[in-house]
Amino acid sequence: MSQITMLNVDDTSSSTSSCATPTRTLSSTTSVYSTSSIRHALIKDNENFEVICNKRKRVTASCWNTFGFPAKVKNGEVKTYEVIPGFVSCKICFDTYKYIDSSTANLYGHRCHRNESSDQTSISSFILSPRSGNHFSKNQTKKKEDIKKLCTRWVAGSMRSFRIVDDPGFKRIIQECLDIGKECRGELNLAAEDLLPSDRTVKNELRKLAYDMRNKLKCVLLEAVANKALTISPDNWTDKYRGINYMGATAHFVDENLNYYAIDLFCVEIMDVKKTAENIYRLMESQLAQFCLDQYMDSITFVTDLNLQPSPEIGDFTEGICEDESDDQDEDDDGDSCGYDDNGDFDDNHDYKDLTINQLPNNVREILNTIKNCKSLVKYIKKKTVLIELQKTNAPSLFLVLPCITHLRNELSNGDRKERSGMKFFYKRALQLLSSMFNMDEDYIIGAFLHPNYQQLRGASSTQIADCYTACRLFIGPCQSSTETNEIIYEPQEKKAKIFMSTLMDKQKKQQSTSDEVDRYISLVLDEGEQYENPLDFWKKKENQVTFPNLSQMARKYFSIPCSSSAVERQFSATGQIITQRRSSLDPSTVNDIIFLRSIENKFS
């Protein structure tokens, strides 16, 4: 089987007759070469390898303006080239492709060809040949490592596909940056491919970076759990494409500098078919072992959708089961038994929580149908201020529960008094449901107390306030007397801040002289206009840490507890954006690394 031979490039007649399209049957030379080895040879050994133009008379495809056949100098013959069959190479950047069956479809997508075809000034005219006698210096090798890490962090932080580093547009941007750098400094002579890693390299780097970051985060978490300032909120989620069950967990902690963080620790596949409390606890323990936290389960606070879990017993991870209640009530009950009379007036002492639709008067049903059909009303309600405040995950939120619930109760009570006819029913029902379904735990009271703008605990009962003070004194231990007190005279504020939560803050009063740390804090008077959206900003101040040393440590513990599990729900929202229809085959371990590294990049960058 004869090979196609290219004669002297100056001999037009010889080259024209000899430079035919490579045959479909490749020679034994093909097994020796690959696209990468040919490109490397064209760049590094330009004396023995060259790209020869396709000089066939019938060639009309525009891509041949950019491409040619790679060829090697024949042994002992000067400027006589032998074409390497089965390949074509770019004359500008020497990218090499397999060329079989005379197909040029894949050549039109090459960046150099697109640049040549553009009406704008060709970028390739500014690109120097990748051939260079300079090998990578130590500095260039370090820069390449830095690029690899930046690409990996970008892929994880922005939830991009691994193959984005192969995107031609992205490579053109990198190449243009290199060209600009060369024009400005004249030091580099590189192609984009010399710096950019492959998708597999990025994937491996992702795993390595995630491992390194877990080791670094481990020390921070261990310090937080030693001060009981670590909370973990777990939850589960199902991938809608492959039906894989995931368990995710977000860690909330306050570091030694009183900075609040919420980090997505893991999002792993649940391998057990039965999601029993014992299996979930075992999986949780195994994942926390990566951070050496499995030995400190008693010191971690766990928060779930249901309630606050101060201890990590197996029973804490079981979900409550709501049994369906049978409807034994007669549909023909009279109005008085359902809490309203013939005129539609409602009794304040009646229980409205368990009424069925058939027991409602006509005016109530009409309103219910209106609410059911008005999607925009539901969207509007979801965006109201209380939900927005309670679902924040970038700052402490435990203190928000008492003022927000008090605000809701006041609003519902005012609506109950002002509204008439059918709307009155919904206000009464919502007020009763709020009272019956929500339990104002002591932690919520303490959280509000430790916020200097809510320390008067408006909305809490006298018993709850007394229990809060007792809990604070038990945390502090024996009372420490102090003779240093500052008398601060209160002057009313001239103007309120235009934020929602400021309307729920305390009205200041005159400070009284006392020796107890809790009492001193109770009688604390803030400066005019001193408001804290984040209570940790108050406790970061050196003078406050000196005046209230024990309460500042208590604030660190309690403000690491979120008031909801919205953070882990947001983790699952991000996971849903990663596992798309196009990326449904992603390995769960890769998803876990992306979620973790994304959270680290977004929080610490």
Helix axes 462-476, 549-558, angle to 10 degrees: 110
Query: Has residue 465 got a pLDDT over 90?
Result: yes
- Mean local confidence (pLDDT), 469-491: 62
Q: CA-to-CA distance for 347 and 366, rounded, in angstroms?
A: 20
Structure-model confidence comparison of residues 92 and 308, the more confident one: 92
Q: Indicate the pLDDT class of residue 374, thresholds 50, 70 and 90.
A: low
What was the pLDDT predicted at 554? 95
Segment of 331-335, 369-373, 376-380, 398-402 carrying the highest mean pLDDT = 398-402
What was the pLDDT predicted at 346? 60
Q: Which of 46, 42, 5, 41 is nearest to 22 (CA)?
A: 5
- Residue 368: which residues within 8 A CB-CB, separation 6 or more? 357, 360
pLDDT over 70 percentage in the chain: 69
Lowest-pLDDT choice from 123-137, 210-224, 346-360, 521-535: 123-137
Structure-model confidence comparison of residues 365 and 90, the more confident one: 90
Computed on alpha carbons and rounded to an integer, the radius of gyration of the chain in Å comes to 35
What was the pLDDT predicted at 190? 64
Lowest-pLDDT choice from 99-108, 221-230, 286-295: 99-108
User: pTM of the full predicted structure?
Assistant: 0.61
Q: CA-to-CA distance for 226 and 254, rounded, in angstroms?
A: 12
Q: What is the chain's mean pLDDT, rounded?
A: 75
- Mean local confidence (pLDDT), 231-260: 92
SS3 181: helix
pLDDT over 90 percentage in the chain: 28
Segment of 21-25, 341-345, 423-427, 577-581 carrying the highest mean pLDDT = 577-581
What was the pLDDT predicted at 480? 52
Segment of 190-199, 336-345, 426-435 carrying the highest mean pLDDT = 426-435
Q: Indicate the pLDDT class of residue 172, thresholds 50, 70 and 90.
A: confident
135-141 contact pairs (CB < 8 A, 24+):
140/188, 140/190
Amino acid (1-letter code) at residue 470 = T
CB count in 10 Å sphere of residue 56: 13
In DSSP notation, 233-286 reads EEEEEE-TTT--EEEEEEEEEE-TT--EEEEEEEEEE---SS--HHHHHHHHHH
Query: Has residue 146 got a pLDDT over 80?
Result: yes
Q: What 8-state DSSP symbol labels residue 395?
A: S
Q: CA-to-CA distance for 275 and 475, rounded, in angstroms?
A: 37
Query: Has residue 369 got a pLDDT over 80?
Result: no
Helix axes 401-418, 442-449, angle to 10 degrees: 100
* H-run or E-run covering 68: strand 67-73
Q: Indicate the pLDDT class of residue 258, thresholds 50, 70 and 90.
A: very high
Q: Indicate the pLDDT class of residue 447, thresholds 50, 70 and 90.
A: very high
Q: Indicate the pLDDT class of residue 561, thresholds 50, 70 and 90.
A: very high
**H-type alpha helices, 361-478:** 362-373, 375-382, 385-390, 401-418, 422-437, 442-449, 462-476
- Mean local confidence (pLDDT), 327-345: 47
Query: Has residue 403 got a pLDDT over 80?
Result: yes
What was the pLDDT predicted at 596? 95
- Mean local confidence (pLDDT), 109-116: 65
Q: CA-to-CA distance for 538 and 455, rounded, in angstroms?
A: 13
What was the pLDDT predicted at 581? 86
